[in-house]
Structure 1
Amino acid sequence: MIIVGIDFTSRPSKSKPLTCLNCEFDGTVLRAGELVEWPSFEGFDAFLLSSGPWITGIDFPFGQSRRFIENIGWPKRWRDYVEFVGSMERSDFRAKLDEYRKPRPTGDKEHRRSTDIAAGSISPQKLYGVPVGLMFFEGAPRLLQAGVTVPGVLDGDPHRIVVEAYPGVLARRLIGRRGYKNDTPKNQTADQANARRDILGKILDGDCVEDFGFNVEAPINLRDDPTGDQLDALLCAMQAAWAWQQREYDFGAPSGLDPLLEGWIADPVTCAKTNKLDSGDKEAIGFGTPDAHSIRRSKKRTVGGTNLVSLPRRILDKAHSDGRPELSKIMFLLGAG
């Protein structure tokens, strides 16, 4: 399968292009291939319209929080409010978000989606610092116009699939909160270079296999880019490959997803944290499939000396439809404790 990781920016240029890493995935190994840079949205738009099959992970927020959408009075379906946003000028969109934020008290000016809370990412309303709000403005309408499929959000061409990636959450699991990139040359440091070396080294050494279920082969020089864009494109590709592995199970989407409004980040641990089980608890189940790894990451409890684990309803329903009714129970028997 063709897997593509794209590091996104709201204003591509020669000095800060969109970075695209083309990969191949055979189910066990993700192999990084050609690296392409687009200094404008022209290349990005052409890619979205290119023939599949392919799946890509792109690192911008695909949606806004339900709280923000309801408060501001925008349409309550993803495709409708994205179409509305797409009709605005960039300056108008910025003004709308500024107007919303200014009268609100500190701590209630910008809201996060459920997936942002799970991933530790900032609000998709953010216009300053890392302007992910502007990335949403530039990116989401392009997905809608291109007619791609965004699992759980938008039904489009089933051979052109796009998932929201967030490389930062994967990088933090590998190296903690060490900085590993900077766009400004004078702020690029040896410590950041060492952090990029550690991220890529851990990936190539198999540190992500437990969460992702596959190995990665990639050139060492991806770590040499001080902006981190090339390395981030690889992390995006890994998250897209994980989603492809889960395609029979909603591409790994959280069972508690607010699908027609907020969207979700395609990352195994992030999706696990946002999964809401039938009991109403948020749990870390790891994978979207009813395999041993998923079960190990599910909530376990002991009753009468027996280990039991809760499984999400979507997994139970899928297991039953696959002819495995023994799994279609709320509690799955793991064995004697």
Structure 2
Amino acid sequence: MSTHHDLSESLLGCDFSSRPTRQKPIVLALGQQRSGRVQLSRLLRLESLEAYAEWLRQPRAWVGGFDLPFGLPRELVLSLGWPRDWEACMRHYAGLSRPEIRDCFAAFCDARPVGGKFAHRATDGPAGSSPSMKWVNPPVAYMLHAGLPPLLDAGVHLPGLWQPPGQAPAQRVALEAYPGLLARELIGARSYKSDDRAKQTPERLIARKDLITALENGQTRLGLRLKLSHAQRDALVDDARGDSLDAVLCLVQAAWAQRCQEAGDARYGLPEGMDPLEGWIVTAPFGA
């Protein structure tokens, strides 16, 4: 496979898997935006965490939206007595094994009342996202554990959370994205994907088509239109797992952040008042 890349690919959306395989790879949607038009150039599939880490280290400039949490709930961190500084907390977390994380978080949940087992971040409500301490359905705690350390190791800038030492201006910028937030805005609560072949229904196929059409027509509050070729559109429709479409939704969120930065916002659209330990999902309303 050629390793060359289009220099105009200044944007990426990442649909992350904490245990990538050939069947369930990490999917990167690469592209660029101009004047409110987001052009998808290609989809890249990475079948291992090593391939993901290697891709991040490559010297190129981009703004990326990553579908994985960039922080843990402050309530959880304080309860466990972990470092309150974001980088120190994430380094501590990265040093734990998955069984240690599961046992630690399960003990925290066991001590809490039914209906309030998990601690939440402030961004979870406005974004409609799962708590970042969940280790099953979906295992976002493991996504944080597997996906964030390579960003730090590669020296990627995380606005509002972490600036790599000695890097100015930032060449690679990563933001926490969440495809479900944009999908809900466009097609409501309709499901458009499933990893279970038996649940890959005609209704979900129609929902994917409607979601893509809404993106192409610019029917979002983000003020962006998605530009696809016929072949790209067919590929997004045909991916019943929805991984490719989720990567594209993250790409659109990254495009919004890039436009904020181009308009003079050094925080890439992240709210001034966000918790610097928890992080924030880009495009999620703040103070709503």
Same fold (TM over 0.5): yes
Give the Cα separation in 1 of the matches to 2:282 and 2:108: 29
Structure 1: which amino acid aligns with 2:256? W
Q: Assess if the C-alpha contact under 8 Å between 1:7 and 1:232 holds in 2.
A: yes
User: For residues 253 and 112 of structure 1, what CA distance do their matches in structure 2 show?
Assistant: 18
User: Identity of counterpart residues, as a percentage?
Assistant: 36
Q: Residue 123 of structure 2: SS of its match in structure 1?
A: helix
Tell me the equivalent position of 2:211.
199
**1:162 alignment partner, one of 125, 149, 174:** 174
What is the aligned partner in structure 2 of residue 214 from structure 1? 224
Q: Give the CA deviation at 1:27.
A: 3.7
Match of 1:86 among 73, 87, 94: 94
Q: CA deviation at 1:163?
A: 0.5
Matched with 1:265 is 281
Question: Corresponding residue for 2:128?
Answer: 120
C-alpha contact (below 8 Å) 1:223/1:230 kept by paired residues: no
- Residue 263 of structure 1 aligns to which amino acid in structure 2? G
Q: Which amino acid aligns with 1:30?
A: V
1:80-159 equivalence runs, <5 A: 80-156=88-164, 157=167, 158-159=170-171
Deviations along 1:171-196, one digit per CA (max 9) or x if unpaired, are 00111101110011122111000000
Q: Distance in 2 between matches of 1:166 and 1:28?
A: 20
Structure 1 counterpart of 2:73, from 41, 65, 77: 65
Q: Structure 1 or 2: larger strand share?
A: 1
Shift of 1:116: 1.0
* Equivalent in 270, 274, 279 of residue 253 of structure 1: 270
* Structure 2: segments with no counterpart, 5+ residues: 1-7
Q: Distance between the aligned counterparts of 1:46 and 1:23, measured in 2?
A: 19
* Shift of residue 15, structure 1, vs aligned partner: 0.9
Q: How big is the shift at 1:213?
A: 2.6
Quote how far apart the aligned CAs of 1:45 are: 0.5
1:228-276 superposed Cα distances (whole Å, 9 cap, x missing partner): 00111110000011111111221111122112x0011111xx1xx31xx
Match of 1:233 among 243, 247, 265: 247
Q: Deviations over 1:123-151 (max 9, x none)?
A: 11111111111111111222222211000
Structure 1 outlier segments of 4+, above 4 Å: none
d(CA) in 2 for partners of 1:143, 1:106: 35
8 Å CA contact 2:12–2:254 kept in 1: the answer is: yes
Which residue is 2:5 aligned to?
none
1:37-95 Cα shifts (integer Å, max 9, x gaps): 11111221012111121111110111111111111111001111100011112221222
**Which one of the candidate residues 177, 191, 194 is aligned to 1:179?**
191
How well do the aligned residues superpose, as a CA RMSD in angstroms?
1.3
Provide structure 1 residue ranges, at least 5 long, that are not aligned to the other structure: 275-281, 284-337
Residue 53, structure 1, aligned to residue 61, structure 2: yes
Report if the CA contact (8 A) 2:32-2:255 is conserved. Answer: no
Task: Give, in whole Å, the separation in 1 of the partners of 2:149 and 2:110.
Answer: 26
CA shift for structure 1 position 107: 2.6
Amino acid in structure 1 at the alignment position of 2:100:
D
Is the Cα contact below 8 Å between 1:57 and 1:162 reproduced in 2?
Answer: yes
- Of 125-134 and 229-238, more deviation after overlay is shown by 125-134
CA contact (8 A) 2:224 2:252 kept: no
Aligned residue pairs, count: 269
Larger Rg computed on CA atoms: 1
Distance 2:172 2:131 in 1: 27
Deviations along 1:190-219, whole A, 9 cap, x unmatched? 1000000000011112212xx223321023
Shift of 1:33: 0.9
TM-score, normalized by length of structure 1? 0.77
2-side partners of 1:28 and 1:161: how far apart? 19
Counterpart residue identity of residue 244, structure 1: Q
Give the Cα separation in 2 of the matches to 1:56 and 1:223.
23
